[in-house]
Amino acid sequence: MKLRFTKMHGIGNDFVIVDCRTQPLALSAQQIAQVGDRHTGVGFDQLLTIEPASDASCVFAYGIYNSDGSRAMQCGNGVRCVAAWLHRAGALGVGATRLQSPSGPVAVELLDGGDVRVDMGVPRFAPADIPLNLPAADPYRVHVGDSDVVFGAVSMGNPHALIEVADVATAPLDTLGAALSTNTHFPQGCNVGFAQIPDRAHLRLRVWERGAGATLACGSGACAALAILRRRGKLDAAVDVQLPGGTLRVQWDGEGAPVWMRGPAQFVFGGEMHI
Catalytic (active site) residue 190: no
Catalytic (active site) residue 218: yes
Q: Are 250 and 239 in contact (CB under 8 A)?
A: yes
Annotated catalytic residue within 58, 75, 190, 223: 75
Nearest to 215 by CA among 97, 46, 64, 40: 46
How far is it, in rounded angstroms, from Cα 159 to Cα 132? 8
Annotated catalytic residue within 20, 58, 81, 218: 218
Cite the active site residues. 75, 218
